Every structure is written in C-alpha cells, then in structure tokens.
C-alpha cells in the first residue's frame, strides 16, 4: 500500500497538489514569457490534455511517430500549470480543450484513486459535490471553462477544441488543429496522425500512458491513466438524482455562457 503524497498548496484561492507544484513554480508559470511561436495547450484536468499533446507532437512531426514513441509526453509538452490566461493573450497559439463536465468528473474521480499526489477519493457523492463547488485540486471547472472560452471568444490565437469532437471525428480535428497551427499536412500524414493518436495506440505507448511514472506517484495497480476513452461514461456512475442535481447546477451556473456540450454519443 503506497502512502499518499497529498500535500495541498493554495495558490490564488485554488488548491494544487503540493507534491507536484510549489508556490514558486506556480508563480513562475503565471509569469512565463511566452513567445509568438509557442503552442500552449490549456485544459481543466481530464478533458483530453494528453490526447492533444500527442496530436500536436504528431502534427509537428508530419505524422511520424518517432518522437511520440521515444520521448515521454511531459518532456515534449512540459506542464506550466498555467490556469489563468491574462498574461498570454496576444502571444503564442493557444489550444483550449474542454470536455463535457459529467465525463470530466467521472474521469477525475477514477484518477484520484490511482494518483497518489491527490487526496484520497471519497464516495462519488462527496466528490461530485466538491467538483461542483470548485473545491477539488485545480479549482472550479466552471471558472476554468468560462474564463478560457466565453471571456476570450474573439481571440484569433485561441482555438477551442472539444474531447467530443476529437472522439466523433479525429481526422477532422487533426486537420482543424494543423490548419490553426499553420502546419498543413498531406492526407497520408493526417492518416498517420489519426493512427498514432487513437486510444489503442496511446494506451499501448509507454511514452504517453504514464506507466513510466513510479507507483509512488501513480499507483497502476489501482487503475490506468488511459482508462476508457469514451464519451458518456458518466451514465455508469451518476444516479438519477445526481444527474438532476447536476443539470440544475449546470443550468444556473452556465447562464452567462452559451457553450454547448455533447453528453453522449
Ligand atoms: P477517461 O478517464 O474517461 O478514460 P487528461 O489527459 O486531460 O488528463 O484526460 C485524460 C482522459 O482522456 C482519460 O479519460 C483518458 O482515457 C482520455 N484519453 C487520452 N487519450 C485518449 C484518446 N486517444 N482517445 C480517447 N480518450 C483519450
């Protein structure tokens, strides 16, 4: 049985796992000097971050998997924990990836079981309440999504991508991202990207499935990082009552934001 490493740090009102981030590293992240050619992938946890890291690496390598199969994803796309956008507006290409929040909370719940750097997951009922209240590590999903989409909707250097659109049409999503990055690809190169960032390829690629991370940090006996990769898995965990409560909460908290999510496919 691994001891948990859940030291929590509070930074600007948001809790972070202190085992991974210090107050200094978070301060460094929010004042990072981005340059125009930088590509920034931004997301609330469990929204498809790793998937987009793989996609962007493959697009930049024209579909050649040599890099994605030899260098861990965290070395190709380092974490900055840049949760707030003010200082990057105007520079860099920003890809904001979101996912329907019912699947986010379910994925995050399962992740808490294996991720020793996060607090122990309690019952799903408790976890869901904390998710809606914004008191889990990394803060409120609502603030994150609204801050990066509704309040930045007109930015030319920001592309909003969703987990669900990648699931429904990975080929189309890759073309959309490659065009946004001004990195046009031949059809064959797009097909190679599709193949190498499919769920089964990524699940079997040690450079991106987090099996290189020690059990001390992620306990692989308790679950896989590449868990299911599906849209609509929330239906397997939410009770009818939790679903009603969630829907009401969502409706009243997203009144000022017209985003539409796909909840199942
Ligand atoms: P599940 O737990 O629902 O399976 P993040 O990288 O932001 O932490 O998101 C992790 C989630 O994205 C996990 O969801 C993981 O399985 C899913 N994911 C990662 N790569 C994927 C892929 N190629 N296809 C579908 N889902 C993927």
Helix residue ranges per DSSP H, 154-239: 163-168, 170-180, 187-196, 199-204
Protein residue closest via CA to atom 23 of ligand 1: 199
Domain region containing 162: 8-253
> Residue 174: CB within 6 Å of ligand 1?
no
> Residue 45: CB within 6 Å of ligand 1?
yes
pLDDT at 16 over 70: yes
Give me the mean pLDDT over the 39-49 stretch.
95
* DSSP secondary structure letter of residue 235: G
CA-closest candidate to residue 110, choices 236, 246, 20, 265: 236
pLDDT band at residue 212 under the 50/70/90 scheme: very high
pLDDT at 171 over 50: yes
Contact 144, 79 (CB under 8 A): no
Q: Is residue 171 part of a domain?
A: yes
d(CA 169, ligand 1 centre) in Å:
15
Q: Is residue 76 part of a domain?
A: yes
User: Which atom in ligand 1 lies closest to the alpha carbon of residue 229?
Assistant: 26
Element at 55 (helix H, strand E): helix 49-60
Whether the full predicted model's pTM is greater than 0.90, yes or no, is: yes
d(CA 50, ligand 1 centre) in Å:
7
pLDDT band at residue 79 under the 50/70/90 scheme: confident
Q: Is residue 193 part of a domain?
A: yes
Q: Residue 86 has what pLDDT?
A: 46
Contact 163, 50 (CB under 8 A): no
pLDDT band at residue 36 under the 50/70/90 scheme: confident
Which CATH number does the domain housing residue 187 bear? Answer: 3.40.50.300
Angle 203-84-91 from CA coordinates, rounded to 5°: 90
> Residue 47: CB within 6 Å of ligand 1?
yes
Give me the mean pLDDT over the 44-66 stretch.
97
Contact 163, 99 (CB under 8 A): yes
Q: Is residue 87 part of a domain?
A: yes
pLDDT band at residue 90 under the 50/70/90 scheme: low
d(CA 263, ligand 1 centre) in Å:
15
d(CA 90, ligand 1 centre) in Å:
29
Structurally, how many domains does the chain consist of?
1
| pLDDT tens digit sequence for 130-141 | 999 999 999 999
Question: CA-CA distance, 78 to 80, in Å (whole number)?
Answer: 6
Q: Is residue 243 part of a domain?
A: yes
Q: Is residue 263 part of a domain?
A: no
Protein residue closest via CA to atom 12 of ligand 1: 48
Q: Residue 122 has what pLDDT?
A: 87
Q: Is residue 159 part of a domain?
A: yes
pLDDT band at residue 251 under the 50/70/90 scheme: very high
Task: State whether ipTM is beyond 0.90.
Answer: yes
Q: Is residue 146 part of a domain?
A: yes
pLDDT at 111 over 70: yes
> Residue 50: CB within 6 Å of ligand 1?
yes
């Amino acid at each position: 049985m691994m001891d948990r490493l859940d030291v929590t740090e509070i930074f600007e009102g948001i809790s972070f796992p202190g085992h991974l981030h210090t107050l200094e590293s978070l301060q460094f992240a929010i004042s990072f000097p981005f340059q125009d050619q930088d590509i920034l992938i931004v997301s609330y946890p469990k929204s498809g971050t790793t998937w987009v890291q793989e996609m962007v690496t493959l697009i930049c390598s024209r579909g050649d998997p040599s890099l994605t199969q030899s260098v861990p994803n965290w070395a190709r796309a380092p974490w900055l924990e840049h949760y707030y956008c003010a200082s990057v507006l105007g520079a860099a290409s920003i890809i904001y990836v979101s996912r329907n929040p019912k699947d986010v909370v379910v994925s995050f719940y399962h992740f808490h079981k294996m991720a020793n750097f996060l607090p122990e997951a309690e019952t799903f009922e408790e976890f869901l309440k904390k998710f809606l209240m914004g008191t889990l590590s990394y803060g409120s999903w609502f603030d994150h999504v609204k801050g990066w989409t509704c309040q930045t909707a007109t930015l030319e250097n920001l592309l909003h991508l969703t987990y669900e659109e990648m699931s429904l049409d990975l080929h189309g999503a890759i073309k959309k991202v490659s065009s946004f990055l001004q990195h046009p690809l031949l059809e064959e190169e797009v097909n190679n990207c599709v193949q190498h960032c499919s769920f089964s390829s990524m699940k079997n690629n040690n450079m991106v499935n987090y099996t290189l991370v020690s059990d001390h940090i992620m306990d692989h006996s308790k679950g896989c990082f590449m868990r299911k990769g599906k849209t609509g898995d929330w239906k397997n965990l939410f009770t009818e009552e939790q679903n009603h409560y969630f829907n009401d909460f969502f409706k009243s908290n997203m009144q000022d934001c017209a985003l539409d999510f796909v909840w199942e496919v």
